[in-house]
Structure 1
């Protein structure tokens, strides 16, 4: 028996997703004829993913009482942002 925590959301195979390619994606893609590379890919698609924040968060290690963590986790997705909001409120910033 495996001791694995089930995922909160099902995994989706990216190869099965219906991604709509743009003209830019086609222009940058590698071209193969069978196993032979005709033209290598150019550049990268850096626009994919989360946009950069103007004021990015800083990762820290913080020890909190277990009941505090569980109370925030019980509020659902975004619980870490709610901790941040409560700390800002307590500090008056």
Structure 2
């Protein structure tokens, strides 16, 4: 069963990093509903990507593992979007998967 999730990814200011992430998501046939790119802080040269995707929880965990291996990724936060458009942070222990 597909659920809606929000991925907030903090990355270094590197060229073509967003395209690598989008290619990974499209190869796994994930539906991307929303993309936003913003500069987190001018002095640190970091960007923040916000992606809303529809997939199962197991698929999301696999994607998180793959994205974390890309050079330039600082951290990834995952949130589940409920029907009333409220967000709940997912506390996933990666050692279980």
Same fold by TM-score, threshold 0.5 exceeded?
no
Looking at CA atoms only, which structure, 1 or 2, has the larger radius of gyration?
A: 1
The structure, 1 or 2, with the larger RCO (C-alpha pairs under 8 Å, 6+ apart) is 2
* Higher strand content, 1 or 2: 2
